[in-house]
Structure 1
Amino acid sequence: MITRFKQVHTSSMVAHLWANKSQPHARNASNSLFFEHSTIYSYGSHFPVAKHIEVGKKPVILFTTRCRSNTTAKHICYVRRALPPGRALPPGDTANVFYVDNVLAQCKIEHLENHAAYRATAAELVKEFAKATRRKIECFARLEACCLEANCYAQVFKLRVKCLDPLKLVGLTQAELDAKLKAAELKNEAREKLRVERDEARRAALEITNAGNVEQWIAGVIKTLPRSSELPVYLRTARGLVNSPFPRNGEDPNEFGAIMETSLGTTVPLEDARRALRVVLVCRERTRSWLRNGATLGATLQVGDFYVDLITETGDVVAGCHKIRWAEIERFAKSMRWL
């Protein structure tokens, strides 16, 4: 039986389908963002944004550090947001994301060139650290992260290069570094306190300002919501191709009907969302969390083209870049009369 896939999606959905390896290819309506198997491109095969590869059965993502235009930058943002939060360093079972100059690197020479770019970045960060006054701690943290990523890159691709040591690069002992960072920390404490207060006030104001837009979006009056990591994920019903991997009553899995849409731009079949709700309710009832590939309540939970990564004991759901609060799940379920 030939499996049929919906080919044309929104740019956000294309990025999510690629990140989750949900289907072999897809594109947006203008064909400006598309992927073929492991690689996702912006405006043509001359500009790969990111690529899935496997190194010794370990999943790895190579993500570009290049950018050519504002629209390409927007595509890069879509793809970056579709990646699961956090990076597994040192290499683990979760995909390692390496930000490199050459996404299509294959031979040793090309991987060595990517590693050389890490060294160049580290050299620039050393200069920033020497000049920094208010951001000295942040500069050293960025240098540490760059060195860690470079060393992990060398480990994954078995490159014979020197390990990058941030202490040696800045020419300090651990004691000297601690003294410098402590002095910077004392100066920054007062600023940090004010920053946290401002951020909390801004986040609260943003939610209040966005409240009217959320109501209109849920009602279907507006198509999209402003996307911010500071805003919660919201849910609504829409109309589209169901595309469920679980045909019901012998129906066509690509039937046109009601779907659930998230404020981040992804869609899943309503029936799959309702099935996932049952697992969420069990987690809340038992006061136990559920983890993908864990030992309880089944190994995986697929909702449409995507897999749930975590359900907390309070009912919050994490799936890729989505973290959906229980309050929003409960509101949506009640609106559908599932509760």
Structure 2
Amino acid sequence: MKRERVKDIATVAHRWANGIGESGQASNLFFEGENIYSYGYHFLIARHVHNSRGGRAVLVTQKTYSKSTSAHTTLVRQASRHMQQIGVPDPEFDAEMMFEEWYNQIKLIAGRLEHARKPEKLVLEIGRVYAAAESYAAFFAIEIPVALRQAGTIGDSEQYREMVRQETELKDAQLKRKRIEALRIQKINLKRWRNFETNYLITADGYDYLRFNTHTKRIETSQRVEVPEAIGRQFYTVVLDTLAAGGCTDCNLRLMDSYEVKAINAKFIQVGCHKISLKEIRSFTKKQGW
């Protein structure tokens, strides 16, 4: 877009704030439509926004970059002071990203409470951050996440520690649910892979799997490596002999002269980038009648 040149940066800010023209630039301050930038698209100072009730406001960045960008931000604030201004971490963020950033800001401030000489100053900082989140949520009529609401009430280090404890518990529970779901999906996909309904398998448990292709007489791994049946049987004998001798680490062996055998033990074998459980190997060889 070719921007209209204006006489100075104050005029740029004034025109943007009052919706005069589609674009404008003077020196390193410019606007295009609802957005006004300092130096380039990498630094969005502010943007006009509207809510479902017909209200208008300006989201103004709380970031600082340099003295000149700070001066530009001050100029934009002054030019748009006739409108509701909401300070935000980044005007480009969506609501979820905004709330997450405000939560992280409060967490960072609250983490200094325990050793602060004047903790009341930090509590005021927390209040200012949360007030911005409240203004944003009120304008768009959206609910503030529970974690951020709780963080906004922190007044001492004990409350901060409790917040961190709850956050840790929540994350652990989320990770556990994700892992359970990932393993459930793996079980379904593994069955499809074994039945040759697909040639691709992404695992969630950190292990690789085996199947036998009766047409090619080759053992296939879930990483799409193929091993001739005869070589596979020979290697299985090596695995059994090595286990009988107590296993090995950095085994000084290679499968098909290509894949380094890194470990053979009672739980798994590791060959190249493959890690296959002994349970999987025994199940596979039993099916093959080895």
TM-score normalised according to structure 1 size: 0.39
> Which one has the largest radius of gyration?
2
Higher relative contact order (CA 8 A, sep 6+): 1
